[in-house]
Amino acid sequence: METTHIIQQVSTNSNYPVPAFSEIIKVAKKKNPFIEANTVNVEFSDLVTDFIPVFAKDNESTISHQQFITSIYSAIRQVFPYESIANVECRVSHKICSRIPSAVGKPTNLLEEWEKTQYFERMAFNIEITSIKEAVNGNELVLSVVGVRSYNNTNLYGRKSAECFKLAIGFTNLVCTNLCVSSADGLNADIKVFNIHELQQKAVTLFEQYNAKQHLETMKQLPQMSLTESQFATFLGRTRLYQFLPKNEQKRLPVLLFGDAHLNTIAKDYYKDNHFCRSIDKELNLWKLYNLFTNSNRSQSYIDTFLHRSSNAADFVAGIASALQGDSSYKWFIE
């Protein structure tokens, strides 16, 4: 694939129409989810019928999950008008159940379906742009957009205020559905907007500034460097120690957002993962190390921390690559 092709698809049409729900709802192919921990899959059509929270003091509705997805889908269509787009994969957690006012006090087992209301506090979605693909170390990657919304990040007890969203563009590794995000230009984890139009414009800006070619080149360098078994053992021990360092010592080191559950998964997969375990000579190249991190993130991180850890995995493994080449910043983790 010519990665510059991605940039050439940017459209000058700033008024791309909002897609119909029928365009977004497509039959999903069976595969591993892009995030697993504490989440369940829902169809986009299910979100459309969910209850929409309001700001308590003025009864103004929030931007709903379905509106979030629709606006980002529109932004993708605006920036990539000639590309093929796959189904929207939605994952949710923290279900909030309620009921209509006339059913207050009614026993749960007597509630009719039409008397029940629900919404999910946290939602993440993935949209693959299937016509833009590349391979890294024999793994096929597809360009993807991932959005995250957590109602708990917005104060719903006051008057209507700016609402918070997270959005990333990067690549999904089709071997394992791990998400590869560049923190340099592929992530906006602090989107604050008042309406759908602002949200769509923020998305367009992110997609246009993302340098897919540079991101791919960075990832293609990772298979060229490796950790020996001894270095990996030191690395794993140091990452565990990092969590308990005195604060003044920890502040002098690069940030690591992965905890014990993630590191346990990485240790297990070092031996057992079908695609990214150590090689016969007991070495682990950094592309495999990166995917051990992103796989642990996919299986162990909750929705609201998923994108932060995705970008931290990229930064951290890039730092280990620099340490192998003599840089002192990340040297503590492997020395």
* Nearest C-alpha neighbor of 283 from the set 323, 238, 330, 235: 235
118 has pLDDT over 50? yes
The domain boundary residue, chosen from 189, 211, 233: 211
23 has pLDDT over 70? no
pLDDT at 58: 83
Q: How many domains does the chain have?
A: 2
pLDDT at 29: 53
The domain boundary residue, chosen from 158, 181, 211: 211
Q: Domain check: are 281 and 178 in the same one?
A: no
Whole-angstrom distance, CA of residue 180 vs CA of residue 137: 14
* Cβ atoms of residues 90 and 67 within 8 Å: no
Residue 218 falls inside a structural domain = no
What average pLDDT does the segment 217-244 reach?
Answer: 96
What average pLDDT does the segment 115-132 reach?
Answer: 91
- What is the extent of the structural domain holding 56? 4-211
For the stretch 69-94, pLDDT in tens is 999 999 999 999 999 999 899 999 99
Q: Domain check: are 205 and 106 in the same one?
A: yes
Q: Domain check: are 16 and 131 in the same one?
A: yes
Q: Domain check: are 131 and 90 in the same one?
A: yes
Q: Domain check: are 96 and 161 in the same one?
A: yes
The domain boundary residue, chosen from 211, 236, 269: 211
| Cβ neighbourhood burial of 83 (10 Å; 0-12, 13-18, 19+) | middle
Q: pTM (2 decimals)?
A: 0.88
By three-state DSSP, how is residue 33 classified?
A: coil
Q: Domain check: are 198 and 231 in the same one?
A: no
Q: Which two tokens stand for residue 315?
A: 């930064």
For the stretch 309-330, pLDDT in tens is 999 999 999 999 999 999 899 9
DSSP state at residue 218: H
Percent of the chain with pLDDT over 70: 91
- Which residue shows structure tokens 């096929």? 140
* Nearest C-alpha neighbor of 236 from the set 215, 258, 221, 217: 258
pLDDT at 99: 76
- The residue that leads in pLDDT, 99 or 288, is 288
CA 62 to chain centre: 22
Whole-angstrom distance, CA of residue 334 vs CA of residue 268: 19
* Nearest C-alpha neighbor of 227 from the set 133, 310, 293: 293
pLDDT at 310: 97
Q: Domain check: are 270 and 326 in the same one?
A: yes
For the stretch 135-165, pLDDT in tens is 999 999 999 999 999 998 888 888 889 999 9
pLDDT at 314: 97
**Would you say how long the chain is, in residues?**
335
